[in-house]
Amino acid sequence: MSDGTANASDELELAQSEAAIEVDSSKSAPEDRETAGPFDIVEVPTMRPYVDFGGIKVAPREGLQLRLEVDERAKRVVAVTLDFEGSLLQVQAFSAPKTTGLWHQVRSEISAQLSSQGARIEEAEGELGPELIAVSSVPAEQGGGTRTVRFVAVDGPRWMLRGVIMGAAAEDAQARAGVIELFRDMVVVRGDQPMPPSELLQLQVPAGVAQNPTGTTQA
């Protein structure tokens, strides 16, 4: 009886060990990230103009509108949304270990969560690396049909920049190319302070910019 219990315990430990091995902690980023972005703050000439949101800097562009997403309970900015030519790109930056990445694990977690909510999930290889595409049903009262959302991310030095693409660019390759260009023009400011992995980098309202009631600013 005790031998059987021991064997079962060994099998459980082996299964847990194999599950741990399956987690890919390598960095996910395009080979030219350091020269083509998204950039770390030390990789960018200081004279280039940016809209400074603290943990993320966004390169201005004609026709680009920026909106801050605020957690009202915590009273903090949690994301920046870029509205450009019929597409939306919502971005967040997170702290990460120096030598390993987060995107492979985070992508798996997003996939499991959205699948449990009934979304159809597909993985694709894009300019930035692996992407996650989620297609979900839209309630009849909201017009019916389906909605496509595309998740992208890049692991940089001690950070991960994640983007959620909605609107035209989620399905149209030409529109997506323009949004990816916006993403690659961004700069992440990780800072030198110790932070646990996956902690959201602090965002803020740019200095000298007054938000209108909708939280939108013109770039």
pLDDT tens digits for range 93-138: 999 999 999 999 999 999 999 999 999 999 999 999 999 999 999 9
d(C-alpha 37, C-alpha 184), whole Å: 4
What's the average model confidence in pLDDT over 60-66? 96
Q: What is the mean pLDDT of the chain?
A: 88
φ, ψ at 201 (rounded to 5°): -70, 140
- pLDDT bin (cut points 50, 70, 90) of residue 24 is confident
pTM of the model: 0.86
CA distances from 62 to 38, 43, 83, 204 (A): 20, 24, 11, 22
C-alpha Rg value of the chain to the nearest Å: 20
Give the burial string for 132-143 (b: 16+ CB within 10 Å, else e): bbbbeeeeeeee
pLDDT above 60 (res 178): yes
The pLDDT > 90 percentage for the chain reads 76
d(CA 14, CA 18): 6
Q: What is the pLDDT of residue 16?
A: 46
Q: What DSSP string runs through the chain?
A: -HHHHHHHHHHHHHHHHHHHHHS--S----TTHHHHSSEEGGGS-TTS--EE-BSEEE---TT-EEEEEEETTTTEEEEEEEEETTEEEEEEEEE--SS--SHHHHHHHHHHHHHHTT-EEEEEEETTEEEEEEEEEPPGGGT-SEEEEEEEEEEETTEEEEEEEEEGGGT-HHHHHHHHHHHHT-EE---SS---TTPBPPB-PPTT----TT-EEE-
Residue range 138-167, pLDDT digits in tens: 988 888 899 999 999 999 999 999 999 999
Residue 66 near residue 216, CB atoms below 8 Å: yes
Q: Model confidence over 3-21: pLDDT tens digits?
A: 544 455 555 554 444 444 4
pLDDT in tens, 181-194: 999 999 999 999 99
The pLDDT of residue 68 is: 96
